[in-house]
């Protein structure tokens, strides 16, 4: 029988060493909740609305840079635009990595998904392709797709207003897949939409207990599927196949020349005309084209859902926006992109919608090397989280931040100010490269809806407005839960205008 008399003192000594090391390291970091020995701040982190808790911590500790750690992994929370600009813009060479998340890697995304790739040559290759195809000056090429799909959306809204959420999902998918592949999407049941939805589906499991355990203890990746807690292995095997289908099948379709002109077709033409046999470039072209759906569809849907909710809640703002459209565009046609510069209140409404409910409230970065900020040491590998939610609630910039006030973006001269709320798309080298397409799609949808429809609160049996009381659905992208509203044509002329679009 083994003598265990030395075991307890040894464990106590190890515990003391770990505790001392933890407290000594913590002293170099900004304020934050006091960590417990070994587990750190594991018990301080909420399962939902983390961005709200980080914002509350900022108020509690009186500073915009915060710190917490879990099992030795340190994270800095950045709650102000000023600090975010310093770290993620001015020092983007240092702070453009992504934190390592074991389950994202195991599911097959870290080597494919531009948004979660580690900083390096493969990531730079992907970013160049994204910027080349989706830069601001390229968006005019996609106006025909946006116009066609927005018109189809209006027709669907007129026919079946209660299913506005589904129509929004169809619109977002149709624009992105139309742009990337030239494929005509008319329903969320479309084969290529379903390929993408199936591939991205496993990411919704990242908040499950088994996934969180794997992230905390990556050694669990070696658990066999039959072992208790190892069931995630089945999903991992499926995920790799689903991602491969999403990447390869639309590529084969475009490569065959069947579909209409598309961004992928342009990539391929340029690749072939270069005369090189760069397999890494061909692989990047496939992956970038596939990732555009995941990068843009869900955020576009969420932004438009928040817009519908805001219009139901603030009818006076909706009316003011409609008056601007009527005065500038008239009632005989739909607004076009040429009208955008002459519709400052619509522009302010778009900005306020994005600020009021940021659909991606957290931006995840990691340090590629040691750094110092405001006297605090940031070791290589430290995770840094930009709290976009907190920045959108900065009372010095946005007084009464919970209120929906488009006028905050309008100057005394009646034009939009310089605050384009670009921070909601992230920062530095990790800023969303599809933001110009997303903004253009959301703007066209918003202005077209306001031109032709009224969005009001649903009514009860007595004709009184109901709610809407809305639950926030947390996740990588933040959506409003299901809410009722009434959507009706503004007039007979508006109804006829939409009806003619179906002809």
Q: 468: how many CB neighbours lie within 10 A of its CB?
A: 17
Q: What is the pLDDT of residues 383-417, one digit of tens each?
A: 999 999 999 999 999 999 999 999 999 999 999 99
Average pLDDT, the chain: 91
pLDDT in tens, 66-122: 999 999 999 999 999 999 999 999 999 999 999 999 999 999 999 999 999 999 999
Q: How far apart, in whole angstroms, are the C-alpha atoms of residue 424 and residue 296?
A: 14
| Contact status, residue 355 vs residue 421, Cβ threshold 8 Å | yes
What is residue 3's predicted lDDT score, i.e. its pLDDT?
41
Give the residue carrying structure tokens 């390929």: 195
pLDDT digits 0-9 by tens, 24-62: 444 489 999 999 999 999 999 988 899 999 999 999 999
Ligand-binding annotation for 485, yes or no, is no
Cβ atoms < 10 Å from Cβ of 164: 20
Q: Is it the case that residue 15 has pLDDT exceeding 70?
A: no
Which tens digits make up the pLDDT trace of 261-296?
899 999 999 998 887 778 899 999 999 999 998 888
pLDDT at 23: 45
Domains of the chain: 30-501 (1.10.630.10)
Alpha helices in 314-423 (DSSP H): 315-328, 344-356, 388-392
Which among 57, 41, 87, 29 has a CA at the least distance from the CA of 389? 57
Give the Cα separation of 286 and 304 in Å (integer).
Answer: 28
Work out whether strand 362-366 and strand 465-466 pair parallel, antiparallel, or are unpaired.
unpaired
77 SS3 class: strand
- pLDDT recorded at residue 14: 40
- Cβ(35)–Cβ(66) below 8 Å: no
Rounded Cα gap, residues 334 and 325, in angstroms: 9
pLDDT at res. 6? 37
The model's pLDDT over 319-329, given as tens digits with 9 standing for 90+, comes to 999 999 999 99
The DSSP-derived string for 432-451 is -TTHHHHHHHHHHHHHHHHH
- pLDDT value at 177 more than 90: yes
Structure tokens at 216: 């905390």
Q: How does DSSP classify residue 45?
A: S
Question: Is the separation of the CB atoms in 41 and 70 below 8 Å?
Answer: yes
pLDDT band at residue 11 under the 50/70/90 scheme: very low
Contacts of 58 by beta carbon, 8 Å cutoff, 6+ apart = 64, 66, 77, 79, 387, 390
- pLDDT (tens digit, 9 = 90+) per residue, 114-154? 999 999 999 999 999 999 999 999 999 999 999 999 999 99
Taking the complete model, does pTM exceed 0.85, yes or no?
yes
């Amino acid at each position: 029988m083994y003598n265990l008399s030395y075991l307890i003192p040894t464990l106590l000594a190890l515990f003391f060493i770990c505790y001392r090391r933890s407290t000594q390291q913590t002293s170099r970091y900004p304020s934050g909740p006091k960590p417990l020995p070994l587990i750190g701040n594991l018990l301080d982190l909420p399962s939902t609305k983390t961005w709200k808790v980080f914002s509350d911590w900022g108020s509690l500790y009186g500073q915009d840079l915060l710190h917490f750690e879990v099992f030795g992994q340190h994270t800095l929370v950045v709650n102000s635009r000023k600090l975010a600009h310093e770290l993620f813009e001015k020092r983007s060479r240092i702070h453009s990595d992504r934190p390592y998340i074991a389950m994202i890697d195991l599911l097959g995304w870290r080597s494919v998904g531009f948004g979660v790739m580690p900083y390096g040559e493969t990531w730079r290759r992907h970013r160049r392709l994204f910027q080349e195809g989706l830069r601001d000056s390229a968006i005019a090429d996609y106006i025909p797709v946006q116009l066609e799909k927005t018109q189809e959306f209006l027709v669907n809204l007129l026919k079946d207003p209660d299913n506005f959420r589904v129509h929004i999902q169809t619109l977002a998918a149709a624009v992105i897949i139309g742009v990337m592949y030239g494929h005509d999407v008319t329903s969320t049941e479309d084969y290529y939409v379903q390929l993408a939805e199936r591939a991205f589906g496993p990411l919704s499991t990242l908040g499950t207990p088994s996934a969180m355990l794997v992230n905390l203890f990556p050694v669990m990746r070696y658990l066999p599927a039959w072992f208790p807690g190892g069931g995630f292995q089945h999903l991992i095997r499926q995920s790799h196949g689903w991602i491969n289908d999403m990447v390869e099948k639309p590529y084969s379709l475009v490569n065959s020349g069947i579909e209409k002109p598309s961004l992928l077709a342009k990539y391929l033409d340029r690749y072939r005309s270069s005369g090189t046999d760069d397999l890494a470039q061909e692989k990047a072209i496939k992956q970038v084209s596939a990732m555009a759906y995941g990068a843009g569809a869900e955020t576009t849907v969420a932004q438009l859902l928040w817009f519908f909710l805001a219009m139901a809640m603030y009818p006076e703002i909706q009316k003011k926006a409609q008056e601007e459209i009527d005065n500038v565009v008239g009632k005989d046609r739909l607004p076009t992109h040429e009208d955008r510069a002459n519709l400052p209140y619509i522009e302010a409404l778009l900005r306020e919608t994005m600020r009021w409910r940021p659909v991606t409230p957290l931006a995840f970065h990691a340090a590629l090397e040691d750094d110092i900020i405001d006297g605090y040491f940031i070791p290589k590998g430290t995770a840094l989280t930009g709290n976009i939610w907190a920045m959108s609630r900065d009372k010095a910039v946005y007084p009464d931040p919970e209120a929906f006030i488009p006028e905050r973006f309008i100057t005394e001269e009646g034009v939009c100010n310089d605050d384009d709320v670009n921070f909601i798309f992230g920062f530095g080298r990790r800023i969303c490269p599809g933001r110009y397409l997303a903004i253009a799609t959301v703007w066209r949808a918003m202005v077209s809806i306001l031109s032709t429809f009224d969005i009001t609160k649903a009514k009860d049996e007595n004709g009184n407005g109901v709610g809407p009381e809305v639950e926030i659905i947390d996740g990588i992208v933040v959506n409003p839960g299901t809410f009722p509203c009434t959507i009706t044509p503004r007039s007979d002329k508006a109804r006829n205008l939409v009806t003619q679009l179906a002809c």
